[in-house]
Chains A and B, each alone.
Chain A
């Protein structure tokens, strides 16, 4: 197939770029090497909408972050992705660390961040009682928020697909040929696509994709961050996102409620050999627990329901790389998007579109573009009477499949059918939260397997956890 534009990578950046481009009369295709979208850093990060005080002034990070916050809130509303503007607190523990609070405040002013203020530890504890008594000074950023990063990615790509963008999964790029009319891209499993323009949003593999296209200008440093996620019963331990100021002890660990109501602690930051190195380590778990308790001593780590690690892509210069390749015509690199990449994603998409325009891409707006995506959680938000009426029309919504999160068969089937379709167990989990509760799929996985098999017309034996060889069962008796 030939397209105007190919986006390499179905993460939050590729997804937002795709959604932005879906507004125009262009043929666009996303290539994703995994069986689902949001499989890299987009599924395993802090889910924070950063205030914007942190990046060095005048960097791309500073610009994208400060513009990104508002754009992201707007996009999240259109896409019906749950988020909350819960505010963040950046905490200093004692005199030695307090100067850093002032530094961050001043940086925030330079970055044009509004509503920030510095408050004492006691003031902070009035609005966040679980905060440690050791916290002496706090930078309070009310504009910061939390959002579910993988739901955002899925919704952005789903919305882009609703507007005509194509998604090819299990397309691991192994060769890129450049000729006068553009790029010919082949995958390890023998598929081939071509396009005039290539936007490299390949996350931790961004340097590899750039090299394959003939551009070897940068190198991605993969950095793993481990997290511990706690039961929803602990979700109200804190209401704000609690950071620690960077100190001799490192960048610190955050403690935050998630947009879905759990409590999240992490991440560590260890440079790892490869982007696939998302393993949980004993050291990582210990670091998270020890440092999180420094901010919030009463966290009940016995209520951890899962641990996970995400690998972020960074680069030696510390800034985002968002530019038309200087060496390869038609290639745009969007690389080294580590924190605050999630916050910046819509601003980045807007910026990439501007770059494409400058490269000569004609942007004719579609007349029938729809920016809204159906609320996949609509049922969950109904009153009991509304649910009753809805179930009478749609009986599958009366069958609870995931008891921990109260997810119904109707919701799961809808998620499997909606763009981008869920093809595997983890895909259903990220779309519906089925299996994401305290039993971690113990009860519901046999039911979910059956729904996936039915909806996708495959055998139970072919249902996978996450594509490839990750089969759930090995045979029929």
Chain B
């Protein structure tokens, strides 16, 4: 099987060709090793970093921006969003503070400081 992809690791957006023959996956068109990895992952276990916001309960009309520390399986994005949407946290919050521990194999962490 052969797939044409655009690498999303960096703004360069290399056009990748991924050939899958049984267990062997070959990636061409990538300018760096990250592209190689992306090509393989995208065809075997596609993942994405998810970013969103979470309510800050003890501050008026305040939201804190968050992200998954590592990419999560693409198929779990909306499951994670449900968890994030239901979540509330309390300030003060520092960048990197854990918002949700252990979700889909990673953590959700704050990307903004709330004093």
Select from chain B the residue with minimum beta-carbon distance to A453.
Answer: B61
Residues in chain A near residue B61, CB distance under 8 A: 460
A selection of 5 A-B contacts at a CB cut-off of 8 Å is A460-B61, A477-B53, A477-B55, A477-B63, A477-B85
Closest 4 CB pairs of A and B: A477-B55, A477-B53, A477-B63, A477-B85
A460 to chain B: which residues have CB within 8 Å? 61
Q: Which A residues touch B53, using CB under 8 A?
A: 477
B residues with a Cβ closer than 8 A to A are 53, 55, 61, 63, 85
The interface residues of chain B, by DSSP majority, are classed as: strand
User: What's the Cα separation between A460 and B63 when bound, in Å?
Assistant: 15
Q: Chain A contact residues (Cβ within 8 angstroms of B): what range? A: under 10
The docked-state distance in angstroms from the alpha carbon of A460 to that of B61 is 10
**Chain B residue at smallest Cβ distance from A450:** B61
In chain A between 420 and 466, which residues have their CB closer than 8 angstroms to a CB of chain B?
Answer: 460
On chain B, the residues within 8 Å of A477 by CB distance are 53, 55, 63, 85
| A227 → chain B closest CB, angstroms | 38
A477 to chain B, nearest CB (A): 7
CB distance from B80 to the nearest CB of A (A): 15
Across the interface, which residues of A come within 8 angstroms of B63, CB to CB? 477
Residues of A within 8 A of B85 (CB): 477
Complex Cα gap A477–B57 (Å): 12
* B55: A residues at CB distance < 8 A: 477
Taken together as a complex, chains A and B put the C-alpha atoms of A122 and B55 apart, in Å, by 67
What's the minimum C-beta distance from A447 to chain B, rounded to whole angstroms?
12
Across the two chains, which residue of chain A brings its CB closest to B55? Answer: A477
Q: For the complex, what is the distance from the CA of A477 to the CA of B53, rounded to whole Å?
A: 9
- Rounded to whole angstroms, the CA-CA distance of A477 and B61 in the bound complex is 10
Shortest CB-to-CB span from A445 to chain B, Å, is 16
User: What is the CA–CA distance of A460 and B60 in the complex, to the nearest angstrom?
Assistant: 12
Closest to B61 in A: A460
Looking at the assembled complex, report how far the CB atom of A476 sits from the nearest CB atom of chain B, in whole angstroms.
Answer: 9
Whole-angstrom distance between the alpha carbons of A477 and B55 in the complex? 8
Interface string of A461-477 (1 = CB under 8 A from B): 00000000000000001
Q: How far does the Cβ of B32 sit from chain A's closest Cβ, in whole Å?
A: 37
Question: Shortest distance in angstroms between A294's beta carbon and chain B's nearest beta carbon?
Answer: 48
